[in-house]
Amino acid sequence: MDITDSMVSFRRHLKRKNFSRYTVRDYMSTLKTFALWLDVPPEEVDHGKMVRFIDWLLDKNLSPKTINCYLESIRSFYRFLQEEGVEVGSPVKTGDALRLSKPLPRFLKDEQVELFFGKITSKRDRAMFYLMLRCGLRVEEVAHLKLEALDLRRGRILVAAGKGAKGRMVYISPDAHRALTDYLSHRAGSKEKALFLVEKGTCKGKPLSVRGIQKRMEHYAKKSGVQACCHQLRHTMATQLLNADADITVVQDLLGHNRIGTTQRYCRVSNPKVQRDYQKAIEVVMKRTSPGESVSS
């Protein structure tokens, strides 16, 4: 079996399955590394060789998360070969994936949010970051947002292609609405469908890229002295909503989480809500029983 031809077919398979171009790129990049490492045809790769490949990746100091991405790509490739009628077993076995640490989501405190936004002078940048902070949009979703997705009259945005190519409806807060309105009045005149555009240089008027947005975040983080990234604004929204007693399933829908367990991680950092719920519940408990208080001297 020629692995190069098989990889070309696999790429077409991923595109037919409507995987995002970023997913296709990542799958093919990891598979290319695997193919270059191999010294035997893919049908001769056994689990022992797979273990040696994992050790090789570990020696390159790759993170467990990155290594698991390699394993998922390889597993999917062999599954594709099987579906194509090739008699081959997958060398990736259950239990090969590396254990991952699960750090709690990092969010910004209220004073940090104020410091960060206090340094933003650009109408475009203020609107972009408000969409992350108030609407919970991912940086990729902000970069790919189209003008037609905005419904300012009803105060909502249709995120047509979120993570996993799944759409959802999010709602616009009054301050985010003002920021968008200010930016759109400044943006007027462009026929570009993308909402956020490059404002300077040779690419002026073109859609702003994910990396372009991340660079603006890095600029304001340095300027304000607040250690922040785009995803932290989304984390901040989730934590603030839970602290304000929003239902967890509502937060799940707004963030576009497939599993409630993903959203529940924010509950572990939502300390004010935990404290309020504890105080409320313990009052009920204490009314029923107060050990030791009824004992006479």
Mean pLDDT by 10 residues, the chain (297 residues): 84 89 90 92 90 94 91 94 89 86 75 94 96 93 94 92 71 94 87 92 91 96 94 89 84 84 68 71 76 52
The pLDDT, as a whole number, for residue 291 is 62
The pLDDT, as a whole number, for residue 260 is 79
What is the pTM (predicted TM-score) of this model? 0.66
192-224 b/e (C-beta count within 10 Å ≥ 16 → b): eebbbbbeeeeeeeebbebebbeebbeebbeeb
CA distance 269 to 12: 42
* Same-domain status, 68 and 123: no
CATH number at residue 23: 1.10.150.130
- Which domain, by its residues, includes 117? 110-277
* Same-domain status, 140 and 29: no
Single-letter residue type at 180: L
The pLDDT, as a whole number, for residue 273 is 67
Single-letter residue type at 59: D
* Same-domain status, 149 and 258: yes
Q: Is residue 32 part of a domain?
A: yes
* Same-domain status, 8 and 147: no
DSSP-based three-state secondary structure for 152: coil
Catalytic residues: 138, 163, 231, 234, 257, 266
Q: Is residue 146 part of a domain?
A: yes
* Same-domain status, 150 and 192: yes
